[in-house]
């Protein structure tokens, strides 16, 4: 997107130096708002969100939830930027890092697409503390947080596999037991998003290796129309359930599910709540606790225990990922489906089930 109303940079006051650079990002804008400065805050946090921006009901909003928790518990101050293009990441990271009024105690970089930019920024600003979600940047001033998305996605695959093989109708959707078929829609094709796909397909196959599967990538995390078109193709080709790992692009998957009277599985947040108008077709969501990563990183800065060069991995065993049943449809799912999912979770945590990271 290149909308003029997104040409803002930070959510904070006293940022004259940054404001002077905000027009130098190139290639479009980033969203910025300002808030009243709080000198007594124990830390000031800079947030560089992923492309797709806030109000995606998914990845960025989950990161924001961690920041909000830190504000409530510690009283931290924060400023934010919402790049609309990958090319803007380095500029926004560096603007936070070089600011002296305010001084940012931590710059949070949300999403793996920030990796290359952060490697350069962290090297140029060695005294600045950074954290990144969904990637590892092996530098002494960066704390990296990664997830076992494949584990949670496996449970989503079990759910989809069970539903497509049974006669199931609830809310605005129903399955066709005569056509066992499910789909996956990814955003930007990458090793990270392929972890979602790999886990999901493995979970489906654990139910029945004969279930047909469809997978595609839209190339974007912020294109609901592309998500809708991809999912419509899958539903028209027999899919009962489509799981997305595509940020706001996934909103289109829900739209397609509603229009075709089928089901979908959300990602990152409990999307039957964050996208409540589609709750009647969302069986569940693979919740990824990006909020935990953001909160823990901020907490470490407040407590003066930040560990640069560290990598924290969050999976099923430490509740870093989980399958949350749909707010409206969860109660309609048969007990044997939930029992199968519970058994799969226990098998993964206990080491009896090994989940692949590549499709």
Nearest to residue 93, comparing CAs of 58, 62, 131, 61?
131
**How far out from the chain centre does Cα 209 lie?**
28
- Cα-Cα-Cα-Cα torsion 184, 187, 190, 192, nearest 10 degrees, comes to -70
Q: Considering the domain boundaries, does residue 355 fall inside one?
A: no
pLDDT on residue 40: 78
Both 333 and 211 in one domain: the answer is yes
Both 161 and 12 in one domain: the answer is no
pLDDT on residue 134: 97
pTM for the full predicted model: 0.86
Consecutive sets of 10 residues in the chain, 359 residues long: mean pLDDT of each? 31 35 38 53 96 93 97 97 96 97 97 98 98 98 98 98 97 94 98 98 98 98 97 98 97 98 97 97 97 98 98 96 98 98 98 97
Q: Please report how many Cα atoms fall inside a 13 Å half-sphere around the Cα of residue 177, on the Cβ side.
A: 6
pLDDT on residue 38: 53
Both 299 and 223 in one domain: the answer is no
Both 203 and 185 in one domain: the answer is yes
Q: Considering the domain boundaries, does residue 357 fall inside one?
A: no
Q: Considering the domain boundaries, does residue 305 fall inside one?
A: yes
Both 90 and 161 in one domain: the answer is no
pLDDT on residue 7: 25
Q: Considering the domain boundaries, does residue 84 fall inside one?
A: yes
Both 267 and 181 in one domain: the answer is yes
Both 178 and 267 in one domain: the answer is yes
Supply the range of the domain harboring residue 23: 4-147+290-316
**How far out from the chain centre does Cα 246 lie?**
8
Q: Considering the domain boundaries, does residue 261 fall inside one?
A: yes
- The structural domain count of the chain equals 2
Coil vs helix vs strand at 185 = strand
Nearest to residue 269, comparing CAs of 287, 252, 257?
287
Both 198 and 336 in one domain: the answer is yes
User: How far is residue 109's CA from residue 349's CA, in Å, rounded to a whole number?
Assistant: 29
Q: Considering the domain boundaries, does residue 321 fall inside one?
A: no
User: How far is residue 58's CA from residue 274's CA, in Å, rounded to a whole number?
Assistant: 8
Q: Considering the domain boundaries, does residue 198 fall inside one?
A: yes
The CATH number of the domain holding residue 238 is 3.40.50.2300
Both 141 and 153 in one domain: the answer is no
Both 185 and 101 in one domain: the answer is no
pLDDT on residue 344: 98
Both 15 and 134 in one domain: the answer is yes
Q: Considering the domain boundaries, does residue 323 fall inside one?
A: no
Both 344 and 310 in one domain: the answer is no
């Amino acid at each position: 997107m290149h909308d003029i109303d997104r040409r803002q940079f930070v959510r904070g006051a006293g940022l004259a130096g940054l404001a002077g650079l905000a027009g130098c990002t190139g290639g479009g804008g980033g969203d910025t708002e300002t808030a009243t400065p709080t000198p007594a805050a124990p830390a000031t946090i800079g947030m560089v969100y992923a492309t797709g921006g806030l109000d995606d009901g998914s990845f960025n909003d989950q990161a924001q939830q961690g920041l909000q928790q830190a504000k409530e518990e510690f009283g931290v101050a924060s400023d934010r930027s919402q790049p609309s293009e990958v090319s803007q990441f380095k500029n926004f990271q560096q603007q936070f890092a070089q600011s002296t009024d305010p001084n940012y105690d931590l710059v949070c970089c949300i999403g793996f697409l920030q990796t290359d930019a952060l490697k350069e920024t962290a090297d140029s600003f060695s005294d600045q503390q950074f954290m990144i979600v969904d990637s590892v940047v092996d530098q002494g001033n960066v704390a990296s947080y990664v997830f076992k998305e494949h584990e949670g996605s496996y449970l989503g695959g079990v759910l989809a596999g069970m539903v497509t093989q049974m006669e199931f109708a609830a809310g605005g959707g129903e399955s066709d037991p005569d056509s066992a078929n499910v789909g996956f829609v990814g955003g930007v094709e990458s090793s990270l998003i392929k972890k979602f796909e790999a886990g999901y397909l493995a979970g489906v196959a654990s139910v029945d290796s004969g279930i047909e599967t469809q997978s595609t990538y839209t190339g974007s995390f912020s294109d609901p129309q592309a998500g809708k078109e991809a999912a419509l193709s899958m539903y028209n080709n027999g899919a009962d359930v489509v799981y997305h790992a595509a940020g706001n692009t996934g909103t289109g998957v829900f739209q397609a599910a509603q229009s075709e009277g089928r089901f979908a599985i959300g990602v990152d947040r409990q999307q039957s709540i964050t996208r409540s108008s589609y709750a009647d077709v969302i069986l569940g969501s693979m919740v990824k606790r990006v909020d935990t990563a953001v909160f823990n990183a901020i907490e470490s800065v407040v407590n003066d225990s930040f560990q640069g060069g560290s990598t924290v991995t969050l999976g099923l065993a430490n509740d870093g990922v989980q399958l949350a049943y749909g707010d409206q449809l969860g109660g309609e799912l048969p007990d044997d489906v939930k029992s199968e999912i519970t058994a799969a979770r226990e098998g993964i945590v206990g080491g009896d089930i090994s989940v692949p990271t590549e499709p």
